[in-house]
Amino acid sequence: MIEQYQSMSRYRRMYVPGGTYFFTVKLAERGSDLLIREVELLRSAYASVVAEHPVTCDAMVVLPDHIHAVWTLPDGDADFSIRWKKIKSTFTRHCSHPAYVSSSKARKGERGIWQRRFWEHCIRDEADFAAHVNYCHWNPVKHGLVERPDAWPYSTVHRAIRRGELVA
């Protein structure tokens, strides 16, 4: 399996059926607080998409202008892109936030809320998994939003604490 990763171009998406991935999904407008202002809309968009295209959410954090997530896809399924596309489009369709729209996005009928792409990383092993889950939970601290991960309300860190996977 490691040889498979080493032979891949670092610019090519890796689709591994049943794989576990770390994602970063960003708003087009850096510094916006749209995702926490509209967190209920984001939760609703996420829930509707994963009802149709299930994932196991291993970790997630919603920050003001970006999201980090660790997902495990179902066996035989490698299409994480459709999930993010639908989450972003559902959120955008129902969001009343006016956004600056570049001419290139306007030509394509886009509203300009999200960056077009997202960053994904295929998790390689248990240490990589733990590091990325930890990254999700500690990201609000890194950005100076809170002093402790459990002080941030938009994170799966609370679920991990309830399950006894972390100590507050």
The catalytically annotated residue of 11, 15, 135, 154 is 154
For residue 104, the SS3 value is helix
- What angle is formed at CA 140 by the lines to CA 138 and CA 143, rounded to 5 degrees? 110
**Do residues 20 and 72 make contact, with C-beta atoms less than 8 angstroms apart?**
yes
Q: Active-site residue 100, yes or no?
A: no
Cα gap 81→78, rounded to integer Å = 9
Compute and round to an integer the Cα radius of gyration of the chain: 16
Say how many CA atoms lie within 13 Å of 140 toward its Cβ: 20
Catalytic positions are 154
